Structure 1
Amino acid sequence: MIDHGLFHQLMTAYGLWALFGIVMLESMGLPLPGETALVSAALYAGATGHFQLWEVIAVAFAAAVTGDTCGYWIGRTLGFRLLARYGRHVRITEDRLKIGRYLFRRHGGKIVFFGRFVALLRVLAALLAGANRMPWPRFAVMNAAGGLAWAASFATAAYVFGDRVSKVEGPIAIGLLVLVGVGIAFALFSAHRYEKQTLARILAEEAEADGCR
């Protein structure tokens, strides 16, 4: 994990290219601290005046869209084949692949948009969208909207409130960790039942579609 002090050194040495590289690679699927990089870049801009706020937002937005676009096409060209062939080794069955495609068909836009604000989904959303054949125009629109909202909100908050962001970052992270833990526990509790219900719905829709032909 890159802390704010180390990232300030990167900014001094490489400028906004450091921000672009970290956010883009995270968006492509690598577990890098893109959000920390964005906040640190905004703090650096506010403290030194070397960059304008709009430049930080523009670079983070461009990096997010570029990385997610690459991640989407990686997922679309390679992801589904790999999941279909090797997914059974990690409990990803053909039925679960059907469920994934169904969820992205129904809720893909929300997953892509709000996934930009959640660490794990920020890394995986584009790959999953591509692997589950989410239509490219819808992905592109929701990806751009999510990237802009994420870059603008986090960068502006860090730039305006300065070091106060760093002081609350720890408690907020702990609170989010607790919420994520509760969410995972609930998801594990309800996933099996929801999976059966969703698969039954998919099979019923497929049967209805076959009957209409």
Structure 2
Amino acid sequence: MHIQEWLETVPAVSVYLLVGVVIGLESLGIPLPGEIVLVSAAILAATQDHINPYVLGACASAGAIIGDSIGYLIGRKGGQPLLQWAGRKFPKHFGPDHVAMAEAKFDKWGMWAVFFGRFIALLRIFAGPLAGVLKMPYWKFLIANVLGGIVWAGGTTALIYTVGMVAEPWLKRFSTWGLAAAVLFGVGSFLLMKRRAKKAAEAREAQEAPVTAAVD
């Protein structure tokens, strides 16, 4: 069976649930490819009439908002020990360098870090829990969370769906390549943030080195 024929058999409700759940879990603090799933689903909506882009965007927004809110509550209750546990459990995502970079962003930007963090792969995982750990006032978090979730999820869905509609004839013939491009886009954004985290850690170590030498 051709991939396009198989995709036509996928129930729309399954796509909506998958997108909402994956994005919700990622926003909660579990390292999952939420952006890849959303982009892939938006491409699917552009090529399959039974998937409604408005419902898709709404499910993605709901997953982002609810997941971030739960992550905030978990971070508020768990505090720093939660980040230390996550660092041991997921060192590639919650290692000291990643946490330090995220904390620096929050110290500098406050609630804007929650809003713009939605658009950055690594910060998307940290935003909710870290806002709770740092005791950000909930009303500030809620505003940034809701606006960020709607703009990111709705905007991504609208953008990819529009591009997909324009390129629909091409996508119908090369749907596999379209999905592969979505995967590469998500992986690329993650690797970029990982490299930035490494540079931030190196800069911090360079600043700390003179202080350590002076103490010795």
Same fold judged by TM-score > 0.5?
Answer: yes
Change (3 A) 1:158 1:6: farther
Query: Number of matched residues?
Result: 186
2:143 aligns with 141
Residues of 1 paired with 2:38 and 2:153: CA distance? 7
Greater mean deviation of Cα atoms: 25-34 or 43-52: 43-52
What corresponds to 1:132 in structure 2? 134
Asked if 1:189 corresponds to 2:191, the answer is no
**What is the one-letter code of the residue matched to 2:21?**
G
Alignment partners' CA distance in 2, 1:70 and 1:115: 16
CA distance in 1, matches of 2:78, 2:7: 33
What aligned pairs does 1:107-126 form with structure 2 within 5 A after superposition?
Answer: 107-126=109-128
CA distance 1:188–1:141, shift in 2 (3 Å): same
Cα offsets for 1:127-150 (capped at 9, x unmatched): 111011011011111111111111
Quick one: higher RCO (CA 8 Å, sep 6+), 1 or 2? 2
**Relative to 1, partners in 2 of residues 1:82 and 1:51: Cα closer, same or farther, differing over 3 Å?**
closer
Alignment pair present for 1:25 and 2:11:
no
Q: Which moved more, 1:23-32 or 1:186-195?
A: 186-195
Q: 1:193 to 1:113 in 2, by over 3 A?
A: farther
- Say if 1:10 and 1:18, in contact at 8 Å, map to a contact too: no
TM-score (norm 2): 0.68
Residue segments in structure 2 that go unaligned for 5+ positions in a row? 165-170, 172-176, 210-216
Cα contact 1:8–1:44 (8 A) shared by 2: no
Partner of 1:62: 62
Change (3 A) 1:147 1:33: same
Deviation at 1:81, TM superposition (A): 5.0
Which letter does structure 1 place at the counterpart of 2:139? P
Scaled by the length of structure 1, the TM-score of the pair is 0.69
- Contact kept? 2:122, 2:194, Cα under 8 Å: no
Identity %: 33
Q: Aligned residue for 1:80?
A: 80
Amino acid at match of 1:43: I
Mapped contact 2:27–2:64 kept (Cα < 8 A)? yes
Following the alignment from structure 2 to structure 1, what is the Cα–Cα distance between the partners of residues 130 and 6? 31
RMSD of the TM alignment (CA)?
3.7
Amino acid at match of 1:46: A
Aligned residue identity for 2:197: I
In 2, Cα distance between the equivalents of 1:194 and 1:148? 38
Inter-CA distance 65–6: structure 2 relative to 1 (3 Å threshold) = farther
Q: Which amino acid aligns with 1:129?
A: A
1:162-203 deviations in Å (ceiling 9; x for gaps) = 24864654665576466445523431232246679xxxxxxx
Aligned to 1:76, the other structure's residue is in SS state helix
